[in-house]
């Protein structure tokens, strides 16, 4: 089978011909129909995360080394099953088309036993620790990680596995605030546009979007944002405060860079809550007395659980949630798709089709 792999960090993905895997035990073999291209794929390709101050967290320090087959946003058809999986019947039925939950854990740690495999201490995520969707086939360790998408287009459903569940899980952390206050969303890429749609499906009050790119701001307005603010504007904070009635009570930072977190803190109301999902990198210099005196909540959120992905897909099917803009490209254009994302030329999501 064809796979596009990271053999050397920072170098173009290389086409590798591998045998089609034989599923064993509880494994299922998926013939990939759609594979999303995410910013996390860029970090994995680069081989590190920026910690600010010239410091980096390398993949090697996390126990992740090439070769890597990227993409954790996968939809495909079940074409094979190990004996234990086949014994489960419908869950591993041949011909079943499903979205794959990629955030797989060790199954043994406290987080996994709570159903929070996304924060496992020994993560086994597809497209990260295990081979992902930039291939014709992928092995999933158990059919419980397959989520039915009946009625949804595979290419439009694929981003739900990361962009979707990441924003859904983050928005849930605001609780009832999404119904009483507009949510400030920093970043209008694939995650930002997805957050707007998820927020609408949840009955939220609305989104105020912040981005540098005018095309992405236009896309956010077209998706239903109440306001789109130029992050470079000298009065960006004042615009946000005016639109939120004196300051934001809910800020979702989908970029996760030093300037964006600083903006989130600056535009927040007293009692404001900021959730950071983005991994762009940097550090934060914040006077600690500000946290209790205002008082502010600063919280991280990392992708989502299997239960949350199941909830999100059910919400999408029930509410008719609009899909984000998707550009379909053949798998052979994996490098071009990564380059376009790296240079900020993607509005919405690129999805590769083997």
pLDDT in tens, 288-306: 999 999 999 999 999 999 9
Instruction: Return the bridge partners of 139, or none.
Output: 29
Q: Where are the domains of the chain?
A: 2-162+304-353, 166-300
For tokens 């173009």, name the residue: 12
pLDDT category of residue 62 using cuts at 50, 70 and 90: confident
Can you give the pLDDT at residue 52?
87
User: 293's torsion region: left (phi>0), alpha (psi -120 to 50) or beta?
Assistant: alpha
pLDDT greater than 90 at residue 207:
yes
Query: CA-to-CA distance for 40 and 49, rounded, in angstroms?
Result: 10
Q: What percent of the chain has pLDDT over 70?
A: 100
pLDDT in tens, 172-199: 999 999 999 999 999 999 999 999 999 9
Selection from 169, 201, 180, 119 nearest residue 276 by Cα: 169
Handedness of CA 239, 243, 249, 253 (dihedral sign): negative
Q: What is the pTM of this model?
A: 0.96
DSSP 114: T
Buried b (16+ CB within 10 A) or exposed e, 70-102: bbbbbbbebebbbeebbeeeebbeeebbbbbbb
Same fold? 2-162+304-353, 166-300: no
Handedness of CA 256, 211, 34, 88 (dihedral sign): positive
Mean pLDDT of the region 67-85:
98
pLDDT greater than 90 at residue 286:
no
Can you give the pLDDT at residue 285?
87
Q: Residue 306 in contact with residue 162, Cβ under 8 Å?
A: no
pLDDT greater than 90 at residue 201:
yes
Sequence-distant (≥ 6) Cβ neighbours of residue 30 within 8 angstroms: 74, 76, 77, 78, 79, 98, 100, 137, 138, 139, 140
Q: Distance from CA of residue 162 to its chain's centroid?
A: 3
Inter-residue long-range contacts of 211-220, CB under 8 Å, 24+ positions, other chains counted: 211/186, 211/187, 213/188, 213/344, 215/347, 216/188, 216/189, 216/192, 216/347, 217/188, 219/188, 219/193, 219/325, 219/347, 219/348, 220/185, 220/188, 220/192, 220/193, 220/196
If one looks up domain 2-162+304-353 in CATH, what number appears? 3.90.180.10
**3-state class (DSSP) for residue 76:** strand
Query: CA-to-CA distance for 180 and 205, rounded, in angstroms?
Result: 6
Can you give the pLDDT at residue 197?
98
Instruction: Return the bridge partners of 55, or none.
Output: 52
CATH superfamily of domain region 166-300: NAD(P)-binding Rossmann-like Domain (3.40.50.720)
pLDDT in tens, 243-259: 999 999 999 999 999 99
pLDDT greater than 90 at residue 53:
no
């Amino acid at each position: 089978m064809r796979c596009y792999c990271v053999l050397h960090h920072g170098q173009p993905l290389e086409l590798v011909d591998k045998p089609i895997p034989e599923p064993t035990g509880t494994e299922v073999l998926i013939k990939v129909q759609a594979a999303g291209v995410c910013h996390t794929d860029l970090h994995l390709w680069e081989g590190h995360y920026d910690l600010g101050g010239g410091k980096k967290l390398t993949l090697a320090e996390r126990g992740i080394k090439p070769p890597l087959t990227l993409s954790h946003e996968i939809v495909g058809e079940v074409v094979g099953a190990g004996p234990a999986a086949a014994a489960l019947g419908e869950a591993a039925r041949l011909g079943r088309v499903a979205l794959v939950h990629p955030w797989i854990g060790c199954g043994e740690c406290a987080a996994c036993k709570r159903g929070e495999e996304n924060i496992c201490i020994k993560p086994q995520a597809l497209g990260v620790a295990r081979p992902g969707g930039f291939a014709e086939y992928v092995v999933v360790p158990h059919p419980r990680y397959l989520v039915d998408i009946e009625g949804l287009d595979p290419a439009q459903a694929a981003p739900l596995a990361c962009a979707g569940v990441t924003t859904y899980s983050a928005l849930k952390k605001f609780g009832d605030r999404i119904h009483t206050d507009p949510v400030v969303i920093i970043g209008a890429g694939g995650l930002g546009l997805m957050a707007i749609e998820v927020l609408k499906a949840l009955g939220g009050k609305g989104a105020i979007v912040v981005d540098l790119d005018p095309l992405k701001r236009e896309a956010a307005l077209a998706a239903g944002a109440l306001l789109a603010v130029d992050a470079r504007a000298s009065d960006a904070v004042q615009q946000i405060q005016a639109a939120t009635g004196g300051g934001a009570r809910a800020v979702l930072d989908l970029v996760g860079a030093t300037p964006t977190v600083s903006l989130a803190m600056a535009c927040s109301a007293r009692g404001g809550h900021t959730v950071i999902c983005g991994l762009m990198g940097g550090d934060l210099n914040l006077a600690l007395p500000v946290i209790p005196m205002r008082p502010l909540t600063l919280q991280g959120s990392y992708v989502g659980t299997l239960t949350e992905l199941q909830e999100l897909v059910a919400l999408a099917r029930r509410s008719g949630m609009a899909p984000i803009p998707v550009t379909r490209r053949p798998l052979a254009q994996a490098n071009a798709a990564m380059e376009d994302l790296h240079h900020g030329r993607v509005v919405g999501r690129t999805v590769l089709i083997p």
